[in-house]
Structure 1
């Protein structure tokens, strides 16, 4: 039987829908988890980088359910896995699909491609697109949402693949892109999430001001560090409180209205 995380509407809890909890030092992991016991943050979705990362996240989730819920995948901003590594990962994911909330983090290597091109190196994006195609097919087969690292023009490729497999439960984390791509994503009901840079990044604030209110969520992408009022701080799920407040202000909502919307969006996408 599925354990529900629903609380009364008066509670308006927070969710960090994208964090790399396994990448924190063990002492910082324990601090975050201890803090969550006494905070407004109800749960986090801990995304994976590769098979070893998947295994660490599964253990964290087993030890700290339902505060920690794992997503399994292979982050695109790294060297491609071999065929044997990919087969091993997919087989392991299938074996643990009942403990997996989503497929992720998967996507396309926008920043690695830019770096390679800036140094005059040739780049073939097709193997990464084929890899993403496999993960989306897996998500469709196992009835899971997919958590995507796909920004700017890469988002259109991701949309093509989602449409190919008729997968509608998609979460583009920390999205940046054109208004045309945003409209395409919104028309198909794909979700996006905002990090603490919504407080100071004009590009992100513009996206937050226009993307449909029923398709947005909060995240931190920790341990990635942030600027502004967060400079020098360890990225912590409690920062989603500031994200929610900034988003609510941008949309002209009261803080309770904003937090309720963001929470219910995450619960709907992840069927919690």
Structure 2
């Protein structure tokens, strides 16, 4: 089966094996299925996930999307892994104590804590104090530590601070989603036993391909970060696990010089280890 993706002005054809009888699952390690962009067709998303054997790690960003996740996905544990958290963008407005209480009350339904983290751009651009972001991030990590849950971390222009903070906590697993650091920061992340994920930008970004080549084979995951739109591929449509993720896996396979099946098996094995990994 072939799918078409757009790289600038070029239309690329990516060969993807037909998967109806495939035994290997694909995992979207980071997607925002509680985003309003998906509200009109979540049933279609669920059906497509089942049909294509894809498991989505759906992240929340505040108390509202956390409650929405708990309501929508409580009976979908076979295809949805629920991550709940306070995103740094919303650190200043959220009631931290209330969020933690809601999370603890529903922890049996929660698979991880995320999207959490720090963002070095939000104080100047959006008025979210960096110190408040740190306070919330520490609280989210403490929650994950106490409940034995993995974390999905946002680290834009804050990666050095995050790498300095993480050793203070004993975490079941930590993912630096949409990794965009340097090769030096990547090497440090690998030494710390962290996971990193790559998304649709891997289809066209030489920088991401170089980073993947320097990533340990047992520490990389794939994601869509939907509903983010990608202007250089997929014609700027909102990202969906079922239509975007196979192309990310195919691109990873090409970068690593392995078959699509081997790349799929590797990312599935890595994601399962991340979701159930031992404490760091």
**Normalising to structure 2: TM-score of the pair?**
0.85
Matched-pair contact (CA < 8 Å) for 1:197–1:204: yes
Please state how far the C-alpha of 1:183 moved relative to its aligned partner.
Answer: 1.0
Separation (CA, whole Å) in 2 of partners of 1:61 and 1:251: 34
1:3-42 correspondence to structure 2 within 5 Å = 11-23=23-35, 24-41=37-54
Matched-pair contact (CA < 8 Å) for 1:75–1:107: yes
Gaps of 5+ in 2: 1-20
Matched-pair contact (CA < 8 Å) for 1:136–1:161: no
Separation (CA, whole Å) in 1 of partners of 2:196 and 2:148: 19
Please state how far the C-alpha of 1:124 moved relative to its aligned partner.
Answer: 4.3
Q: Which shifted more, 176-185 or 161-170?
A: 161-170
Aligned to 1:4: none
Instruction: Give the direction of change, closer, same or farther, for the CA distance of 1:105–1:193 in structure 2 (3 Å limit).
Output: same
Aligned to 2:213: 209
Separation (CA, whole Å) in 2 of partners of 1:166 and 1:67: 27
1:175-214 correspondence to structure 2 within 5 Å = 175-214=179-218
Separation (CA, whole Å) in 2 of partners of 1:25 and 1:45: 15
Answering whether residue 231 of structure 2 is matched by residue 227 of structure 1, we say yes
Q: Which stretches of structure 1, 4 residues or more, deviate above 4 A after TM superposition? A: none
Deviations 1:69-118 (A, max 9, x none): 21110111235135xx11000011111111110000000123324536xx
Aligned residue pairs total: 255
Aligned to 2:176: 172
Find 1:243's aligned residue among 239, 248, 258.
248
Aligned to 2:263: 258
Matched-pair contact (CA < 8 Å) for 1:245–1:255: yes
Separation (CA, whole Å) in 2 of partners of 1:98 and 1:168: 16
Please state how far the C-alpha of 1:168 moved relative to its aligned partner.
Answer: 5.6
Gaps of 5+ in 1: 1-8
Instruction: Give the direction of change, closer, same or farther, for the CA distance of 1:232–1:176 in structure 2 (3 Å limit).
Output: closer
Separation (CA, whole Å) in 1 of partners of 2:34 and 2:167: 31
Aligned to 2:163: 159
Separation (CA, whole Å) in 1 of partners of 2:229 and 2:96: 30
**Normalising to structure 1: TM-score of the pair?**
0.88
Please state how far the C-alpha of 1:156 moved relative to its aligned partner.
Answer: 1.7
1:48-67 correspondence to structure 2 within 5 Å = 48-67=60-79
Deviations 1:104-159 (A, max 9, x none): 0000123324536xxxx8x742221121111111111110111100134x112112
Deviations 1:13-39 (A, max 9, x none): 211111110113322222211212211
- Over the aligned positions, Cα root-mean-square deviation in angstroms equals 2.0
Aligned to 2:105: 95
Matched-pair contact (CA < 8 Å) for 1:77–1:110: no
Matched-pair contact (CA < 8 Å) for 2:175–2:197: yes
Aligned to 2:142: 137
1:76-155 correspondence to structure 2 within 5 Å = 76-78=88-90, 80-81=92-93, 85-113=95-123, 115=125, 124-152=129-157, 154-155=158-159
